[in-house]
């Protein structure tokens, strides 16, 4: 038993070291920075302050950005769930040959570069983009719809990018639903719809939850898509952090914001894990 | 409490014929077992009855009503799965109440009927538990209660005991039989275990490669198997390759590979045909005269002693003697003569599969 554990420890050591050196250490090095006062010109300041954190709590600008980020995350998650569930259902129940093709189609967008996909959406959603031009040509609208530089644009782009994650998680959850349980519901007098809502949907609950947490955390921390589709004015947490570091060179503020975002993501993931364990464990 | 009729029921999966024209009538309140080796189509028959598999041809009638094309949720029957198939997210109570709720039963009547079904399987005290908190045997009893709670017209059981360990299985067999008697519910029980089929059912339907081999009471199936296949499948048997030397209206004489002759009561054999003689272990008895051989192995199994006898002309026969009979006192190395009644020699075509 202990020998087995020793081997297990040995096996995860290489990846553990890489993560420690390349991920955890740099993050921890940023921690002191987030408590430094901001001095124009660079990160070489001395002394300690809580200002970088208090401004996030007190400044209405950050309230707006935080609210916007979480609204965006919630809407993206909900839409991914609504669009992804039927797709996952078809995929999980298809014949094996069809299933292979459908899986490939679902995963295919992941093979394309994020920037390329976001630019694709700009071509579609811009004021003189494909969508607006088509709608104007069809005389359905007089002036272009604002599809970019606002919540709509961000949500469209992120749903497209994050949908495969949701679908893959849901497919796994649906495959784990015992078909016999569904057949049993049928023989007990439940029609296909009742069977779905009383058996299939509740049994995929943990999967829906896991997929939602994944999509939510990925969407509130997404940078490239919000940057391209949100433009310079419509900002979320990730783009604000990026600008603090690279445009304003205000490293302390950027670091503080980054830690707040990380903390929120960690709390969500931890709470999700706790809830899932409570659901699945026998009391 | 319904009569069930299967008429020429068939199912093909692509090129493969799983069930080929099964005819069967089950009387109201009767307990019939579908028995056969794996792949004989018994589960497919059951799933067609339940409406989970659509038949290629034929009809299923419940009380004269043709339900062949009716979806399973409109057939009003109970199905117990080999895997139990309980709803893992619902409590025992809600599992059992599921079918009643679909019938619109609510309130006090729902509680009363659900608890009554749980009382039938003696699990009333576990109503609040979740399925995963129960043992395998308890889960199977919940599955049984869930199937019978809505008072279905038919109870279908798909190898419900095969996932239980031996002791529990015996206990559940008795429970199942008692429940079926109490509710007088028409039941179809699918199994590959002949002992289970014989001890539980009023009648046994033996299937092979999608066809009915024989339908009869357990006694008929055991004592008067309609074919060599049934004889070989039911009970434990010796199987000896032989040729038919002579045949007439009263039986035939078989010639075994070593040249010894064996009389059989089997009729309708053609002289010269290559066959297999099927002889049950307990039908082989040490006697004053008969096939000569030596005891090669003796194994004691409580009420029975099993002897493996090497015949003088080559070949082996297994004989089973009740403890206390002279045969049981034989030891390895002893010379013995074996007598076999012609009525106990069944003949199967030498297809190798039986």
- pLDDT, one tens digit per residue, over A218-275 is 999 898 889 888 888 888 999 999 988 888 888 888 999 999 998 998 998 899 888 8
What ipTM does the predicted assembly reach?
A: 0.79
User: pLDDT band at A278, cuts 50/70/90?
Assistant: confident
What pLDDT is stored for residue A283 in this prediction?
40
What pLDDT is stored for residue B167 in this prediction?
81
Rounded to an integer, what distance in angstroms lies between the CA atom of residue B38 and that of residue B35? 9
**Residues of chain A found within 8 Å of residue B86, distances taken between Cβ atoms:** 181, 184
Q: Does the pLDDT of residue A276 top 90, yes or no? A: no
Residues β-bridged to residue B24: B6
What pLDDT is stored for residue A34 in this prediction?
86
User: pLDDT band at A1, cuts 50/70/90?
Assistant: low
DSSP B73: G
How close B195 gets to chain A, by Cα (Å)?
26
A74 class by beta-carbon count within 10 Å (0-12 exposed, 13-18 middle, 19+ buried): middle
| Cα–Cα distances in angstroms (integers) from residue A34 to residues A29, A237, B8, B258, in the given order | 10, 16, 80, 96
- Residue of chain A whose alpha carbon sits nearest to that of B131: A282
The answer to whether position A42 is within a domain reads: no
Is some CB atom of chain B closer than 8 A to the CB atom of A176?
no
What pLDDT is stored for residue B329 in this prediction?
83
- Which phi and psi (to 5°) does residue B90 adopt? -110, 150
Same domain, A26 and A55: no
Rounded to an integer, what distance in angstroms lies between the CA atom of residue A77 and that of residue A216? 6
- Choose among B87, B102, B147: nearest Cβ to A181: B87
Task: Find, among A49, A13, A93, A106, the residue nearest to A255 by Cα.
Answer: A49
Rounded to an integer, what distance in angstroms lies between the CA atom of residue B217 and that of residue B207? 15
Rounded to an integer, what distance in angstroms lies between the CA atom of residue B156 and that of residue A185? 14
The answer to whether position A45 is within a domain reads: no
The answer to whether position A162 is within a domain reads: yes
What pLDDT is stored for residue B229 in this prediction?
85
DSSP annotation string for B87-139: -TTS-HHHHHHHHHHHTT--HHHHHHHHHHHHHHTT-GGGTTS-GGGS-HHHH
pTM: 0.80
Same domain, A2 and A126: no
Could you give the count of Cα atoms lying within 13 Å of A119 in the half-sphere of its Cβ? 5
The answer to whether position A199 is within a domain reads: yes
Same domain, A131 and A3: no
The answer to whether position A207 is within a domain reads: yes
- pLDDT, one tens digit per residue, over A36-67 is 888 776 556 677 888 888 888 888 998 899 99
Arithmetic mean of pLDDT, B215-228: 88
- pLDDT, one tens digit per residue, over B119-145 is 988 888 999 999 999 998 899 999 999
- pLDDT, one tens digit per residue, over B51-103 is 999 999 999 999 999 999 999 999 999 999 989 999 999 999 999 999 999 99
Arithmetic mean of pLDDT, B40-50: 93
B12 versus B39: the higher-pLDDT residue is B12
Same domain, A58 and A165: yes
- Choose among A189, A199, A282: nearest Cβ to B133: A282
Same domain, A179 and A117: yes
Average pLDDT, chain B: 88
Tell me the percentage of chain A whose pLDDT exceeds 70. 96
Domain span at A22: 1-32
Contact: B79, A183; criterion CB under 8 Å: yes
Domain count, chain A: 2
Q: In what order do the strands lie in the sheet with B211-216?
A: B77-80, B154-158, B186-191, B31-35, B203-208, B211-216
Rounded to an integer, what distance in angstroms lies between the CA atom of residue B136 and that of residue A177? 19
The answer to whether position A39 is within a domain reads: no
Could you give the count of Cα atoms lying within 13 Å of B154 in the half-sphere of its Cβ? 28
**Residues of chain B found within 8 Å of residue A188, distances taken between Cβ atoms:** 73, 78, 98-99, 102, 146-147, 150
Tell me the percentage of chain B whose pLDDT exceeds 90. 45
Task: Find, among B116, B199, B186, the residue nearest to B155 by Cα.
Answer: B186
Arithmetic mean of pLDDT, B43-47: 93
Rounded to an integer, what distance in angstroms lies between the CA atom of residue B204 and that of residue B193? 12
Arithmetic mean of pLDDT, B154-177: 86
B contact residues 180-199, partner A, Cβ 8 Å cutoff: none
How close A188 gets to chain B, by Cα (Å)?
5
- pLDDT, one tens digit per residue, over A172-202 is 999 999 999 999 999 999 999 999 999 999 9
Q: Helix, strand or coil for residue B307?
A: strand
Same domain, A276 and A191: yes
Q: How far apart are the first and last CA of chain B?
A: 36
Same domain, A10 and A98: no
Give residue B104's region: left, alpha or beta (phi > 0; psi -120 to 50): left
Q: Does the pLDDT of residue B29 top 80, yes or no? A: yes
Average pLDDT, chain A: 88
CB pairs under 8 A between A and B: 73
Same domain, A87 and A195: yes
User: pLDDT band at B314, cuts 50/70/90?
Assistant: confident
Contact: A282, B76; criterion CB under 8 Å: no
Q: What is the CATH number of the domain that holds A209?
A: 1.10.3720.10
Same domain, A9 and A87: no
Rounded to an integer, what distance in angstroms lies between the CA atom of residue B296 and that of residue B318? 10
Same domain, A147 and A204: yes
What pLDDT is stored for residue A41 in this prediction?
62
Q: Does the pLDDT of residue B352 top 60, yes or no? A: no
What pLDDT is stored for residue B1 in this prediction?
61
Same domain, A59 and A25: no
Same domain, A28 and A66: no
**Residues of chain A found within 8 Å of residue B51, distances taken between Cβ atoms:** 186-187
Arithmetic mean of pLDDT, B206-235: 88
- Which phi and psi (to 5°) does residue B142 adopt? -65, -45
Q: Does the pLDDT of residue B353 top 60, yes or no? A: no
What pLDDT is stored for residue A109 in this prediction?
84
């Amino acid at each position: 038993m202990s020998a087995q554990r020793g081997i297990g420890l040995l096996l995860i050591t290489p990846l553990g070291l890489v993560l420690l050196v390349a991920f955890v250490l740099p993050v921890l090095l940023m921690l002191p920075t987030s408590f430094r006062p901001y001095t124009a010109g660079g990160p070489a300041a001395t002394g300690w302050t809580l200002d970088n954190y208090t401004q996030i709590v007190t400044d209405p600008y950050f309230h707006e950005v935080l609210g916007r980020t979480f609204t965006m995350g919630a809407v993206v998650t909900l839409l991914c769930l609504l669009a992804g569930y039927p797709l996952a259902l078809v995929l999980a129940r298809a014949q094996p040959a069809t299933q292979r093709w459908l899986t490939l189609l679902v995963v295919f967008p992941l093979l394309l570069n994020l920037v390329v996909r976001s630019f694709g959406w700009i071509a579609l959603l811009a004021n003189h983009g494909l969508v607006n031009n088509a709608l104007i040509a069809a005389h359905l609208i007089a002036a272009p719809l604002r599809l970019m530089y606002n919540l709509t644009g961000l949500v469209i782009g992120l749903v497209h990018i994050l949908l495969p994650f949701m679908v893959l998680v849901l497919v796994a959850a649906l495959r784990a639903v015992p078909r016999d349980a569904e057949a049993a519901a049928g023989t007990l007098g439940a029609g296909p719809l009742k069977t779905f809502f009383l058996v299939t949907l509740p049994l995929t609950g943990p999967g829906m939850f896991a997929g939602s947490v994944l999509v939510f955390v990925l969407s509130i921390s997404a940078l490239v898509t919000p940057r391209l589709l949100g433009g310079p004015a419509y900002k979320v947490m990730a783009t604000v952090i990026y600008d603090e570091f690279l445009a304003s060179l205000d490293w302390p503020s950027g670091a503080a914001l980054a830690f707040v975002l990380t903390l929120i993501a960690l709390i969500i993931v931890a709470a999700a894990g706790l809830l899932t364990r409570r659901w699945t464990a026998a009391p | 409490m319904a009569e069930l009729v299967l008429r020429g029921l068939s199912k093909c999966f692509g090129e493969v014929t799983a069930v080929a024209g099964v005819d069967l009538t089950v009387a109201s309140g009767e307990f019939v077992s579908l028995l056969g080796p794996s792949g004989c189509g018994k589960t497919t028959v059951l799933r067609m009855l339940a409406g989970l598999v659509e038949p290629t041809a034929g009809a299923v009638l419940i009380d004269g009503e043709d339900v062949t094309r009716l979806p399973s949720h409109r057939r009003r029957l109970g199905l117990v799965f080999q895997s139990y198939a309980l709803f893992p997210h619902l409590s025992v109570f809600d599992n059992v109440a599921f079918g009643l709720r679909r019938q619109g039963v609510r309130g006090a009547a729902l509680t009363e009927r659900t608890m009554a079904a749980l009382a039938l399987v003696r699990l009333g005290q576990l109503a609040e538990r979740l399925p995963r908190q129960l043992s395998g045997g308890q889960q199977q009893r919940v599955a049984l209660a869930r199937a019978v709670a809505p008072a279905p017209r038919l109870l279908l059981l798909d190898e419900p005991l095969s996932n239980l360990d031996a002791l529990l299985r015996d206990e559940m067999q008795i429970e199942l039989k008692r429940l079926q008697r109490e509710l007088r519910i028409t039941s179809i029980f699918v199994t590959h275990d002949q002992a289970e089929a014989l001890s539980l059912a009023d009648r046994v339907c033996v299937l092979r490669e999608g066809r009915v081999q024989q339908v009869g009471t357990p006694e008929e199936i055991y004592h008067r198997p309609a074919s060599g296949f049934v004889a070989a499948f039911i009970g434990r048997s010796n199987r000896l390759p032989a040729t038919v030397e002579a045949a007439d209206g009263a039986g035939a004489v078989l010639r075994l590979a070593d040249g010894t002759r064996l009389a059989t009561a089997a009729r309708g054999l053609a002289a010269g045909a290559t066959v297999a003689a099927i002889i049950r272990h307990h039908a082989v008895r040490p006697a004053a005269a008969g096939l000569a051989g030596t005891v090669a192995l003796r194994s004691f199994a409580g009420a029975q002693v099993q002897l493996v006898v090497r015949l003088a002309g080559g070949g082996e026969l297994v004989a089973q003697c009740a403890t206390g009979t002279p045969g049981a006192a034989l030891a390895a190395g002893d010379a013995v003569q074996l007598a076999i009644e012609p009525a106990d020699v069944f003949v199967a075509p030498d297809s190798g599969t039986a």
